[in-house]
Amino acid sequence: MSKWVAAAALLLVATGCGFGNEARSCTSNAECNSVEHPGGVCEASTHLCSFPDTSCPDGFRYGGLAGDQSNQCVPGPGQGSNPIADAAIDSKPPIDTAPPIDSPPDAQVCFGTGIVKVCLASAPTGDLTSLGGTLDTTNSPLCAPLVSGGDLCVIAATTITVQTALRAIGTKPLVLLASDTITTNAPIDVASHRVAGADELGAGADPVGLCSAGTAPQTANGSSGGGAGGSFTGGGGNGGAGSDVNTAKGGAGGVAGTANIIVTQLRGGCPGQKGAAAASADAGAAGHGGGAIFLLAGTSITAQQTINASGEGGGGGIANVSGGGGGGTGGLIGFDAPTVVVNGLILANGGGGGEGSREATGTGSAGGNGGEATSVAAAAGGGIIAFGGDGGSGSSGAAAGAGVSGIQGAIFGSSRGGGGGGGGGAGYVVASQGAAFFNGVSPAQTIPAP
Report CA dihedral (192, 167, 440, 158) to the nearest 10 degrees: 140
- pLDDT value at residue 139: 94
Q: What is the pLDDT of residue 23?
A: 67
**What average pLDDT score do residues 76-99 get?**
39
Burial category of 310 from C-beta neighbours within 10 Å (exposed 0-12, middle 13-18, buried 19 and up): buried
Pair 309, 292: CB distance under 8 Å: yes
Contact present, 432 and 340 (Cβ < 8 Å): yes
Handedness of CA 201, 203, 209, 214 (dihedral sign): negative
Measured between alpha carbons, how far is 183 from 307 in angstroms, rounded to an integer?
12
Give pLDDT, residue 34: 60
Compute the distance between CA of residue 198 and CA of residue 285 in angstroms, rounded to an integer.
10
Cα–Cα dist 405/225, whole Å: 12
DSSP code for 104? P
Give the Å distances, CA to CA, from 16 to 66, 74, 95: 8, 15, 20
Rounded to 10 degrees, the C-alpha dihedral 149/153/158/163 comes to -150
**120 vs 54: which has the higher pLDDT:** 120
**Residue 360: exposure state from Cβ atoms within 10 A (0-12, 13-18, ≥19):** middle
Per-residue pLDDT band for 80 (boundaries 50, 70, 90) equals: very low
Distance between CA atoms of residues 217 and 284, nearest Å: 11
The three-state secondary structure class of 265 is: coil
User: Residue 248 pLDDT > 80, yes or no?
Assistant: no
Sorted by where each begins, the domain ranges of the chain are: 3-97, 109-450
Average of per-residue pLDDT across 11-27: 48
Q: What is the pLDDT of residue 363?
A: 58
Total count of residues recorded for the chain:
450
Report the alpha-carbon distance of residue 224 to residue 99 in Å, rounded.
Answer: 64
d(CA 195, CA 174) in angstroms, rounded, equals: 22
State mean pLDDT over 289-295: 98
Confidence of residue 137 (pLDDT cuts 50, 70, 90): very high
For residue 249, name the pLDDT band (cuts at 50, 70, 90): confident
DSSP state at residue 8 = H
Identify the sign of the CA torsion 265, 267, 269, 270.
negative
Kindly give the pairing relationship between strand 363-365 and strand 339-342. unpaired
Confidence of residue 9 (pLDDT cuts 50, 70, 90): very low
Work out the average pLDDT over 278-288: 96
User: Which residue type does 328 have?
Assistant: G
pLDDT in tens, 339-349: 999 999 999 99
Average the pLDDT over 130-140 and give the result. Answer: 96
Q: Are 245 and 410 in contact (CB under 8 A)?
A: no
Tens digit of each residue's pLDDT (9 = 90 or more) over 315-335: 999 999 999 999 999 999 999
Of 99, 83, 76, 80, whose CA–CA distance to 11 is shortest? 99
Residue 47 pLDDT level (bands cut at 50, 70, 90): confident
**Single-letter amino acid, residue 271:** P
Q: Are 415 and 360 in contact (CB under 8 A)?
A: yes
Which one has a higher pLDDT value, 74 or 23? 74
Element (H or E) spanning 188, and its range? strand 188-189
pLDDT tens figures, 193-229: 998 878 999 999 999 999 999 999 999 998 999 999 9
What confidence score (pLDDT) does residue 7 get? 41
How much is the pLDDT for 211?
97
Which amino acid belongs to residue 86?
Answer: D
204/186 Cα distance (integer angstroms): 21
Rg (CA), the chain: 27
Evaluate whether 281 touches 357 at the Cβ level (below 8 Å). Answer: no
Q: What are phi and psi of 4, to 5 degrees?
A: -60, -45
| Per-residue pLDDT at 10 | 40
